[in-house]
């Protein structure tokens, strides 16, 4: 078998192609493989001269940095490609873990020029270190069963009033453990018109006040989004925070009844989300070459269409001009059945905002933990 | 002659080649535990700012962090006490021989295999607002609204009981079987009713075993992490110290603080263990008359 | 405490998994008596004692103390004292606390507990060791604590389960005298379990010999020693030579025997007739080297202080154990003889 | 206590008396029963959910399917993971027994200067939560190129396992009559022969007991395994933990299916093991009271 | 295996934590001898045996086998056999495998192992039990396995550490004869540890009496029985009456004594002079009830088969143990007497 370091030295120029087929070890900390594994497998199959074997492993984002760091300290990096969300990306940038890909190899990644507006904004967050591979506008949205909530709240104030009238009925998961949770957290400053939506500590006074008020009528903050989905399904929660992907995919999977509805609060901004590909420092040049070729392929519209998946990252593609009918049949069928035509209009009508950077986000989480989630015991 | 004499003298003190059998184990523990652990302690004294004790100061001056010690103790101590206390009467009932004992012990041991995730999932399903437990309570009419038993203190507490109880039970049953049953009979012939026999004979003899068991279950409970997140309320009621350590090390990437919290964790744990073992050394610690 | 004038076991039976460990023991114990239960390992001695103590429920039968039925009471309410084979001292309590345990259970006033404990400690001469834990005592001392713990309650009955079997020879002898002394001086009623016939003989007023859960014989030491009811009892009472022989003739009280290379006269136990196959039982000390006897070959000689113990073989190869005053050498041929009154003949009815 | 010793043959009269006399027994058995009922509920709800199509606000799911097992199996590539898990567990058990048993022998049989210190040293890794030494341990292992492979996972798991074997085996060895070893020596056996032919067979129950516990602990050890595992050396518990907490949307049922598979494999191990070991003999090799 | 003509222990000392468990034992064992080490518990008997076996390193001194130094060899290379008190059978091996274990360790050819094992099994008459595990055997059978395991190697020396102390009275007697028979028929050299003086007397050619790690006396059974060197040995050899008295006068070989309420004549062991404080040692069986003696009060009476054992007290309250043919009642006053040759007088030099 191949040694993990085949493909040459970590230093030196990156050739156009590896000398011989390499083994790629891919670590996914964002659940991105669900969208892209098909693209990768296809590329590997087609280019067996470049990629001999791909191994996939999964981890949670917080553990990513420690692991890469330990490997780099020991000079033995055996993770070649990391697929990560904003959190892992930023943490790695701050710790200097990633190989700078841009602008050096921008010409090899021509697909990056085709990014949609939102994706292009998200790519700025990655600086020179990562490549956006999938993108979606995310949320914040609210989700409910029409049978139980005949007239859903239309504004943030109405939501609060609803919560007041039905204690325990509104639920969102602990933001640091949940995508919809953090999207709601980051979306509120826009909804409420806070002074600086990018500064959770000093610019979010209305948001924190709103959350504290809401907190009075929230009985629990589950530790995962699936928990809130389950509660929605079994009726113990009536309105939960959601995103486009979390709306469609769980209904496909049967975790949430098909008839669940989503609603948007008046005047909301999308807080977008994306997944990035990064290469840890210390990956040999040959492997880097193969990865760059792989990424270039992944950014072609044909491959991007696979990102529609079963609505998990709806819509999913990061580049412009990828329509649903380019997607695999399975995807098309799922989205036709469970998707919502109104999303196109919502996406078109509401402004897109990039999420908080990692530092600010951690600070927001910490503040939420201390003042909202932890408030119940403090009293 | 002198070499033989030296060998004899060393042997008299208990030193000879047989001690080499200890070497592999000792080497493993030194290389794989002591060295990394010392490294971790060293790391905790090198925070980015605040001097040598900076990381510790950060921890202790922040009430939100400091309180995790109390939160953890508030979970681990009652759970360990309950596990041990509940095991004693059950083990006491089961120490004789009766049909089905083996089956019953085996079943009691099953929860050891469950693993955190299944326990957490099961608790969420079973004790959740529309889980079987609440459904039963409501249909029996004991309560109108579902009782909230998950995503709070109780969820974590139950998961600690489910994983800790079988372990405590096994150990205690084993210790209890080591006590010579004729002692109990001797006390009976001296006119002691069963609870006097239990209180004055069995319990004191069991005490050292109880202390050991308590320490082991306490340690298990004190380092609770996944279930504190999964079935607990990780921002509030069940923000245990390992969450703080995890947060520091993996979310803020403040390794010195993470190490410092880990060290504090170890120290608190050792303090509790030391208190318990100290109390134990006040008690009788000799043979319990078990028949070999 | 309560006393009684007699304690009656009435067909006491205890079964373990379909097998009788004790099959119908009936016995009346009079106040002040010293009864020994004697028998080989596994014969049901401990079972009998535990039934009496209430530690084992009966399968059948009943136990009566004068007019009161006792077998339905739990052990702690029978008021008996028990000395266990392994002493069963409470290892975490000092000697003094071990002894006072029972008194405290009776909720006697402090002063009286102290006084009676002191007395008991003095009785067994452990004043210097009162504060030690049992683990710090020698076997003999532990033994005495166990006895003191049992007798301090002045129980109506003391039960002892092989209390001397863990001691060495010299101590065993001393403790034996001690137990007998305590029994006499405190006026106790004692039931004593042992498998050592010498111990039973020397201590008891009456002996109960058990075998396979059944009573083989009940009688005074003299009766058992001189007239064992059958060959099993005889075997147990030191009749080491049990030789299969045939009755040649019956002459009044004695019978003439031969077989196994021997010719002897003996006293029958139970009816025998000429021609019967019988077993002759003779103690080694009754079989003496002397002129006019049966010729045997010496095999092993052991010195035993005053006497020599000899193992010899008859011409038919049957081993005989005897005593000699002078030392024969292995291989010597000597003649042996026994007084007819000392040769017991067990017929088929007394096997 | 005597209530449990009761034999069926015991007189009806005494039996009735004892049952009435011990409300404590009823209380205890009641508590045990309550524990079991709830435990069954906890386990049952996961098992039922893992076979359920969809399960909303009802007593039972609306349909039954095994698709979640298939999807969990495929998504996580469980087969290689199971193989790795088994390899890791067996290696850890074998090495910790090989290293731990001789050490516990010395600790049980010999007194030498510093014995208590050594004992304490072996106690510490069990008393310390793995998180406290896991990170530096991973760093060290990566430094020497051991982490990221099976070797690293095995080494990391040895840290709590060796002491565990030592702690469970020491009382066990103490209870074997040292005269047996001396007898073997007097028969002319060398040290290794004594170990191989006399001690090992006698220690089998203890070794099995310790092995099972180590096995269960290793299979269930998340922290150390995660920190040192490479792409090809993940174990089941790591995969399970990801399925639960890694990003992405997964059907709850599929996570439950993973958990059930995990528990089922542990249960098989445990039940097989319990056939050989009496669970009450963990800390002491006791003969059960014959009556 | 190797044999030797003599085995010499030369000032063998073994210390445990600063305390001598064995303080300078010198002894020469001749081939074919049966030596018994005798003494109270804790006197160092097992220590001596273990030193000889090589199971305990010596602190000082040396052990020589003819001209070869032995004490530096590990136990497995000395070629001795050992029988342990608790037998120490390998519980997981069958009787046959237990016995053949040593032969296999010697890597003897299969055939020979089988042949010699069969022989040994036959020797101890365990043919029927060869396939059983030790746990399925009775105490006496286990004992025989232990002996077979030790002798199957035809060791130059067999060591036995209280091999009979776990057996019951009857079996003990039988096994004693068995051991003596094996010793004689196999021509073994044996060192035997016991605390039972009767056992030692009956088995050994020579006895070594130890006390507190020191040799008190070495001699033949007769020498020890009749002429113990001092009062401790006497105590151990059955002189249960050790009465402090004073020498009134010395007449040639006998001395006149009084004190403790007694007046007696005795035979001095070592030099004594009139006026010396001495201890008179008398066996119970030498102190007989009879006319013309010293008056004593009977306290306890025990039946012992042929005789009665009596504990009595002199007027000065000293306890005496004696034998009587007829049964006196407790409280009776009788007179006792002893032959002067049977009363040993230990002066200050022989304390
Ligand atoms: N709990 C029990 N279960 C099954 N059989 C038992 C039990 N207790 C005793 N027995 C059996 O009952 C019989 C009598 O046992 P018991 O203990 O009374 O004998 P013992 O005369 O005291 O013997 P020893 O001298 O060995 O103590 C034996 O065959 C024994 O195996
Ligand atoms: N391993 C040891 N450590 C400390 N002291 C010991 C050890 N072994 C024996 N001793 C001490 O040495 C002395 C002699 O012990 P040894 O075992 O030789 O006595 P023994 O004559 O065999 O007694 P017993 O008849 O009780 O077996 C005793 O005082 C004992 O306490
Ligand atoms: Mg018994
Ligand atoms: Mg000894």
Span from the CA of E45 to the centroid of ligand 2 (angstroms): 8
In chain C, how many domains are there?
2
Q: How confident is the model at residue A340 (pLDDT cuts 50, 70, 90)?
A: confident
In chain B, how many domains are there?
1
Beta partners for residue E210, in sequence order: E215
Asked if residue A232 has pLDDT above 90, the reply is no
Ion ligand 3, residues whose Cβ is below 5 A away: C 46
Distance from C-alpha of A373 to C-alpha of A363, rounded to nearest angstrom? 14
pLDDT tens per residue, range C251-281: 888 899 888 888 888 888 888 888 888 899 9
CB atoms within 10 A of CB A20: 13
Residues C218/C227, Cβ–Cβ less than 8 Å: no
Residue A140, preceding bond cis, omega within 30 degrees? Answer: yes
Distance from C-alpha of B111 to C-alpha of B162, rounded to nearest angstrom? 6
Mutate to test the pocket of ligand 1, among C22, C41, C46 (most ligand atoms within 8 A of CB): C46
Instruction: Specify if E255 maps to a domain.
Output: yes
Inter-chain CB proximity C72 and D14 less than 8 Å: yes
* Structure token pair of residue D180: 């047996």
pLDDT of residue D285: 43
- Cβ burial B111-123 (10 Å sphere, 16+ → b, else e): bbbbbbbbbbbbb
- Point out the domain boundary residue: C184, C214, C233: C233
Q: Would you give the DSSP letter of residue B147?
A: P
Establish whether residue E47 lines the binding site of ligand 2, counting it when its CB lies within 6 angstroms of any ligand atom: yes
Residues B112/D247, Cβ–Cβ less than 8 Å: no
E contact chains, 3+ CB pairs < 8 A: B, C, D
D182 lies in the same domain as D272: yes
Q: List the beta strands (DSSP E) in chain C.
A: 6-16, 19-30, 34-38, 60-65, 68-69, 80-83, 157-161, 190-194, 206-211, 214-219, 241-251, 254-259, 262-269, 277-282, 288-304, 307-313, 319-324, 333-337, 344-346
Q: What are phi and psi of C293, to 5 degrees?
A: -125, -160
Residues A126/A313, Cβ–Cβ less than 8 Å: no
- Strand E158-161: give its sheet, edge to edge: E81-83, E158-161, E190-194, E34-38, E206-211, E214-219
ipTM, two decimals: 0.77
E153 lies in the same domain as E122: yes
Is residue C300 less than 8 Å (CB to CB) from chain E?
yes
CB atoms within 10 A of CB A155: 13
Instruction: Specify if C324 maps to a domain.
Output: yes
Helix (H) or strand (E) holding D104: helix D78-109
Distance from C-alpha of D177 to C-alpha of D108, rounded to nearest angstrom? 12
Is residue C63 less than 8 Å (CB to CB) from chain D?
no
Residues E229/E217, Cβ–Cβ less than 8 Å: yes
E248 lies in the same domain as E297: yes
Q: Which residues of E touch C304 (CB under 8 A)?
A: 198, 201-202
D90 lies in the same domain as D234: yes
D40 lies in the same domain as D119: no
- Point out the domain boundary residue: C178, C201, C233: C233
D26 lies in the same domain as D147: no
In which domain, by residue range, is B121 found? 70-280
Instruction: Specify if B18 maps to a domain.
Output: no
Is residue D9 less than 8 Å (CB to CB) from chain C?
yes
Instruction: Specify if B33 maps to a domain.
Output: no
Establish whether residue C156 lines the binding site of ligand 1, counting it when its CB lies within 6 angstroms of any ligand atom: no
Instruction: Specify if D26 maps to a domain.
Output: yes
Asked if residue E152 has pLDDT above 50, the reply is yes
For D:232-291, CB contacts with C below 8 A are 291
Inter-chain CB proximity C184 and E300 less than 8 Å: yes
Q: Which residues of B touch C105 (CB under 8 A)?
A: 187, 190-193, 196
CATH code of the domain containing B130: 1.10.3720.10
Establish whether residue D290 lines the binding site of ligand 1, counting it when its CB lies within 6 angstroms of any ligand atom: yes
Mutate to test the pocket of ligand 2, among E13, E37, E45 (most ligand atoms within 8 A of CB): E45
C340 lies in the same domain as C301: yes
* Structure token pair of residue E209: 């009496």
A190: which residues sit within 8 A by CB, 6+ positions away? A197, A267, A268, A269, A271, A351, A353
E229 lies in the same domain as E249: no
* Structure token pair of residue A106: 């921008």
Inter-chain CB proximity E59 and B12 less than 8 Å: yes
In which domain, by residue range, is D45 found? 22-52
How large is the average pLDDT for residues D116-136?
A: 81
Instruction: Specify if E1 maps to a domain.
Output: no
Q: Are strands E19-30 and E6-16 parallel, antiparallel or unpaired?
A: antiparallel
Instruction: Specify if D290 maps to a domain.
Output: no
Compute, in degrees rounded to 10, the torsion defined by CA atoms A123, A124, A130, A132: 0
pLDDT of residue A247: 85
E163 lies in the same domain as E14: yes
Chains A and E touch (3+ CB pairs under 8 A): no
Instruction: Specify if C41 maps to a domain.
Output: yes
Distance from C-alpha of D70 to C-alpha of B263, rounded to nearest angstrom? 43
Helix (H) or strand (E) holding B222: helix B203-222
Q: Which residues of D touch A25 (CB under 8 A)?
A: 230-231
D contact chains, 3+ CB pairs < 8 A: A, B, C, E
D29 lies in the same domain as D173: no
Q: Out of C201, C311, C330, name the one closest to residue E305 (CB).
A: C201
3-state secondary structure of E263: strand
D225: which residues sit within 8 A by CB, 6+ positions away? D88, D153, D156, D157, D234, D235, D237, D238
Read out DSSP for D113-179? TTHHHHHHHHHHHHHS-HHHHHHHHHHHHHHTT-TTSHHHHHHHHHHHHHHHHHHHHHHHHHTS-HH
In which domain, by residue range, is E196 found? 6-233
Of residues D87, D102, D206, D104, the one with CA closest to residue D157: D87
C263 lies in the same domain as C300: yes
Asked if residue E22 has pLDDT above 50, the reply is yes
Asked if residue A7 has pLDDT above 50, the reply is no
> Which ligand lies nearest to the CA atom of residue C23 in the structure?
1
Q: How confident is the model at residue B45 (pLDDT cuts 50, 70, 90)?
A: confident
Distance from C-alpha of D268 to C-alpha of D255, rounded to nearest angstrom? 20
pLDDT mean for each 10 residues of chain C (351 residues): 80 86 90 90 86 88 89 86 87 91 90 92 86 81 88 89 76 81 86 88 90 90 88 86 89 86 85 86 85 83 80 86 82 86 82 53
How large is the average pLDDT for residues E119-139?
A: 85
Inter-chain CB proximity E149 and D183 less than 8 Å: yes
Q: At what angle do helices D130-143 and B35-44 cross, to 10 degrees?
A: 110
Distance from C-alpha of C139 to C-alpha of C164, rounded to nearest angstrom? 10
CATH code of the domain containing D101: 1.10.3720.10
How large is the average pLDDT for residues E280-295?
A: 84
E90 lies in the same domain as E43: yes
D180 lies in the same domain as D90: yes
Of residues E99, E202, E203, the one with CA closest to residue E144: E99
pLDDT of residue E193: 92
Instruction: Specify if D266 maps to a domain.
Output: yes
- Point out the domain boundary residue: E181, E201, E233: E233
Atom of ligand 1 nearest to the CA of C195: 25
Helix (H) or strand (E) holding A295: helix A285-298
D32 lies in the same domain as D121: no
Beta partners for residue A270, in sequence order: A352
Write down the mean pLDDT value for chain E: 86
C249 lies in the same domain as C299: yes
The region, left, alpha or beta by phi > 0 then psi within -120 to 50, assigned to residue C107 is left
Asked if residue B104 has pLDDT above 80, the reply is no
E40 lies in the same domain as E168: yes
Write down the mean pLDDT value for chain A: 82
Asked if residue B292 has pLDDT above 90, the reply is no
Please tell me the distance in Å from B276's CA to the nearest CA on chain C.
Answer: 19
E26: which residues sit within 8 A by CB, 6+ positions away? E9, E10, E11, E12, E215
Establish whether residue C40 lines the binding site of ligand 1, counting it when its CB lies within 6 angstroms of any ligand atom: no
Mutate to test the pocket of ligand 2, among E21, E38, E82, E209 (most ligand atoms within 8 A of CB): E21
> In whole angstroms, how far apart are CA C310 and each of B8, B192, C95, E219?
46, 53, 46, 22
E243 burial via Cβ count (<10 Å: 0-12, 13-18, 19+)? buried
D74 lies in the same domain as D198: yes
D26 lies in the same domain as D78: no
> Which ligand lies nearest to the CA atom of residue E214 in the structure?
2
Asked if residue D281 has pLDDT above 80, the reply is no
C221 lies in the same domain as C311: no
Place of tokens 């009134």: E248
Span from the CA of C46 to the centroid of ligand 1 (angstroms): 7
Span from the CA of C168 to the centroid of ligand 2 (angstroms): 15
E141 lies in the same domain as E162: yes
Please tell me the distance in Å from B74's CA to the nearest CA on chain D.
Answer: 17
CATH code of the domain containing C299: 2.40.50.140
Inter-chain CB proximity A236 and B130 less than 8 Å: yes
Q: Which residues of E touch B11 (CB under 8 A)?
A: 57
Distance from C-alpha of E157 to C-alpha of E144, rounded to nearest angstrom? 17
Asked if residue D14 has pLDDT above 70, the reply is no
Instruction: Specify if D2 maps to a domain.
Output: no
Distance from C-alpha of E180 to C-alpha of E202, rounded to nearest angstrom? 9
Instruction: Specify if C111 maps to a domain.
Output: yes
CATH code of the domain containing C61: 3.40.50.300
In chain D, how many domains are there?
2
D47 lies in the same domain as D77: no
D94 lies in the same domain as D131: yes
Instruction: Specify if E282 maps to a domain.
Output: yes
Distance from C-alpha of E51 to C-alpha of E31, rounded to nearest angstrom? 19
pLDDT of residue D1: 35
Mutate to test the pocket of ligand 2, among E13, E14, E16 (most ligand atoms within 8 A of CB): E16
Distance from C-alpha of E64 to C-alpha of E50, rounded to nearest angstrom? 15
> Which ligand lies nearest to the CA atom of residue C169 in the structure?
2
Instruction: Specify if C1 maps to a domain.
Output: no
Closest alpha carbon within chain C to B284: C92
D28 lies in the same domain as D156: no
Chains C and A touch (3+ CB pairs under 8 A): no
C125 lies in the same domain as C258: no
pLDDT tens per residue, range E226-272: 889 888 888 888 888 988 889 988 888 889 988 888 888 889 888 88
CB atoms within 10 A of CB A41: 13
Span from the CA of C22 to the centroid of ligand 1 (angstroms): 9
Residues E350/E269, Cβ–Cβ less than 8 Å: yes
Instruction: Specify if B21 maps to a domain.
Output: no
Distance from C-alpha of C79 to C-alpha of E108, rounded to nearest angstrom? 64
Instruction: Specify if B39 maps to a domain.
Output: no
Instruction: Specify if B290 maps to a domain.
Output: no
How large is the average pLDDT for residues D149-161?
A: 89
């Amino acid at each position: 078998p191949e040694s993990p370091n085949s493909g040459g030295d970590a230093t030196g120029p990156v050739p156009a192609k590896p000398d011989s087929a390499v083994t790629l070890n891919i670590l996914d900390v964002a659940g991105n493989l669900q969208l892209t594994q098909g693209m990768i497998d296809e590329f590997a199959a087609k280019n067996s001269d470049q990629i001999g074997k791909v191994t996939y492993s999964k981890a949670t984002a917080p553990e990513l940095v420690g692991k890469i760091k330990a490997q780099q300290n020991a000079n033995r990096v055996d993770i070649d490609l990391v697929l990560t969300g904003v959190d892992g990306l930023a943490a790695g940038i701050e710790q200097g873990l990633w190989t700078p890909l841009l602008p050096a190899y921008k010409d090899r990644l021509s697909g990056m020029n085709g990014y949609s507006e939102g994706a292009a904004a998200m790519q700025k967050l990655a600086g020179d270190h990562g490549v956006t591979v999938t993108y979606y506008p995310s949320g914040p949205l609210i989700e409910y069963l029409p049978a139980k909530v005949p007239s859903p709240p239309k504004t943030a104030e109405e939501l609060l009033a609803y919560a007041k009238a039905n204690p325990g009925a509104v639920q969102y998961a602990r933001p640091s453990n949940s995508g919809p949770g953090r999207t709601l957290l980051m979306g509120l400053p826009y909804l409420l018109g806070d002074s600086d939506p990018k500064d959770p500590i000093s610019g979010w006074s209305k948001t924190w006040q709103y959350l504290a008020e809401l907190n009075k009528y929230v009985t629990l903050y589950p530790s995962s989004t699936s928990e809130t989905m389950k509660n929605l399904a079994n009726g113990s929660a009536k309105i939960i925070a959601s995103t486009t992907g979390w709306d469609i995919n769980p209904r496909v999977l049967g975790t949430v009844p098909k008839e669940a509805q989503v609603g948007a609060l008046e005047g909301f901004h999308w807080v977008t989300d994306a997944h990035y590909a990064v290469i840890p420092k210390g990956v040999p040049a040959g492997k880097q070459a193969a990865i760059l070729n792989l990424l270039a392929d992944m950014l072609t519209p044909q491959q991007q269409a696979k990102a529609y998946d079963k609505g998990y990252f709806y819509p999913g593609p990061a580049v412009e001009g990828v329509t649903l009918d380019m997607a695999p049949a399975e995807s098309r069928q799922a989205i036709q059945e469970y998707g919502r035509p109104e999303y196109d209009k919502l996406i078109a009508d509401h402004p897109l905002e990039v999420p908080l950077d990692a530092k600010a986000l951690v600070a927001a989480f910490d503040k939420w933990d201390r003042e909202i989630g932890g408030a119940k015991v403090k009293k | 002659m002198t070499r033989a004499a030296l060998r004899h003298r060393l042997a008299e003190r208990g030193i000879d080649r047989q001690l080499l059998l200890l070497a592999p184990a000792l080497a493993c523990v030194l290389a794989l535990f002591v060295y990394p652990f010392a490294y971790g302690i060293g790391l905790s004294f090198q925070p980015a700012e605040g001097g040598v004790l900076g990381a510790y100061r950060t921890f202790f001056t922040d009430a939100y962090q400091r309180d995790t010690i109390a939160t953890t103790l508030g979970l681990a101590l009652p759970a360990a006490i309950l596990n041990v206390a509940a095991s004693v009467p059950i083990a006491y009932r089961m120490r004789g021989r009766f049909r089905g004992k083996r089956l019953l012990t085996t079943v009691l041991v099953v929860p050891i295999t469950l693993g955190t995730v299944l326990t957490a999932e099961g608790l969420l399903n079973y004790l959740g607002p529309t889980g079987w437990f609440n459904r039963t309570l409501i249909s029996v009419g004991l309560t109108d609204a579902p009782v909230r038993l998950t995503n709070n203190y109780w969820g974590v507490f139950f998961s600690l009981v489910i994983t800790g109880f079988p372990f405590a039970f096994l150990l205690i049953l084993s210790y209890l079987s080591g006590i010579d049953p004729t002692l109990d009979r001797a006390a009976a012939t001296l006119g002691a009713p069963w609870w006097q026999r239990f209180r004055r004979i069995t319990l004191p003899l069991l005490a050292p075993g109880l202390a050991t068991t308590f320490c082991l279950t306490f340690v298990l409970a004190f380092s609770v992490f996944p279930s504190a997140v999964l079935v607990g309320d990780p921002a509030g009621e069940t923000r245990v110290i390992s969450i703080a350590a995890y947060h520091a090390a993996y979310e803020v990437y403040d390794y010195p603080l993470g190490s410092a919290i880990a060290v504090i964790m170890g120290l608190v744990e050792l303090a509790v263990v030391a208190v318990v073992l100290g109390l134990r050394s006040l008690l009788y610690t000799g043979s319990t008359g078990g028949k070999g | 405490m309560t006393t009684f004038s007699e304690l009656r076991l009435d067909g006491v039976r205890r079964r373990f998994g379909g097998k009788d460990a004790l099959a119908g023991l009936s016995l009346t114990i009079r106040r002040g008596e010293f009864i020994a239960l004697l028998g080989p390992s596994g014969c049901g001695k401990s079972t009998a004692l535990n039934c009496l103590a209430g530690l084992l429920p009966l399968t059948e039968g009943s136990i009566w103390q004068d007019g009161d039925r006792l077998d339905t009471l739990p052990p702690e309410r029978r008021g008996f004292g028990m000395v266990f084979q392994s002493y069963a001292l409470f290892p975490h309590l000092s000697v003094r606390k071990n002894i006072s345990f029972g008194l405290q259970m009776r909720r006697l006033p402090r002063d009286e507990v102290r006084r009676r404990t002191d007395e008991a400690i003095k009785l067994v001469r452990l004043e210097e060791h009162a504060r030690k834990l049992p683990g710090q005592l020698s076997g003999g001392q532990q033994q005495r604590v166990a006895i003191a713990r049992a007798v301090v309650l002045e129980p109506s009955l003391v039960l002892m389960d092989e209390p001397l079997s863990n001691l060495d020879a010299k101590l065993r002898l001393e403790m034996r005298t001690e137990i007998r002394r305590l029994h006499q001086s405190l006026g106790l009623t004692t039931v004593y379990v042992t498998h050592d016939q010498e111990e039973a003989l020397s201590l008891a007023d009456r002996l109960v010999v058990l075998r396979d859960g059944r009573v083989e014989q009940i009688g005074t030491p003299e009766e058992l020693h001189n007239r064992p009811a059958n060959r099993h009892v005889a075997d147990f009472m030191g009749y080491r030579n049990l030789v299969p022989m045939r009755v040649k003739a019956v002459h009044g009280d004695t019978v003439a025997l031969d077989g196994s290379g021997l010719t002897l006269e003996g006293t029958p136990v139970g009816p025998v007739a000429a021609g019967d196959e019988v077993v002759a039982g003779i103690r080694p000390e009754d079989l003496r080297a002397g002129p006019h006897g049966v010729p045997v070959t010496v095999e092993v000689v052991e010195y035993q202080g005053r006497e020599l113990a000899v193992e010899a073989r008859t011409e038919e190869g049957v081993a005989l154990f005897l005593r000699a005053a002078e030392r024969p050498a292995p291989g010597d041929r000597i003649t042996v003889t026994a007084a007819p009154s000392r040769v017991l003949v067990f017929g088929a009815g007394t096997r | 206590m005597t209530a449990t010793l009761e034999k069926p043959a015991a007189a009806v009269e005494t039996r009735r008396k004892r049952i009435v006399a011990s409300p404590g027994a009823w209380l205890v058995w009641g508590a045990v029963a309550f524990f079991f009922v709830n435990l069954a509920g906890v386990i049952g709800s996961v098992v039922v959910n893992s076979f359920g199509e969809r399960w909303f606000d009802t007593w039972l799911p609306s349909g039954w399917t095994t698709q979640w097992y298939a999807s969990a199996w495929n998504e996580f590539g469980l087969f290689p993971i199971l193989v790795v898990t088994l390899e890791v567990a067996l290696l850890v058990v074998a090495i910790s027994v090989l290293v731990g048993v001789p050490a516990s022998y010395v600790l049980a049989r010999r007194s030498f200067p510093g014995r208590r210190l050594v004992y304490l040293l072996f106690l510490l890794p069990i008393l310390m939560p793995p998180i406290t030494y896991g990170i530096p341990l991973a760093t060290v292992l990566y430094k020497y190129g051991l982490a990221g492979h099976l070797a690293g996972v095995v080494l990391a798991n040895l840290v709590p396992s060796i002491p565990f074997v030592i702690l469970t085996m020491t009382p066990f060895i103490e209870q074997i009559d040292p005269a047996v070893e001396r007898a073997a020596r007097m028969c002319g056996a060398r040290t290794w022969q004594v170990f191989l032919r006399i001690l090992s067979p006698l220690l089998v129950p203890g070794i099995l007991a310790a092995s099972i516990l180590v096995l269960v602990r290793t299979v269930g050890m998340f922290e150390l395994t995660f920190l040192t595992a490479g792409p090809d050396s993940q174990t089941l518990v790591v995969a399970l933990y990801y399925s639960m907490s890694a990003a992405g949307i997964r059907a709850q049922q599929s996570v439950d299916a993973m958990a059930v598979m995990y528990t089922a494999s542990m249960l098989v191990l445990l039940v097989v093991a319990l056939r050989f070991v009496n669970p009450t003999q963990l800390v002491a090799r006791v003969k059960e009271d014959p009556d």
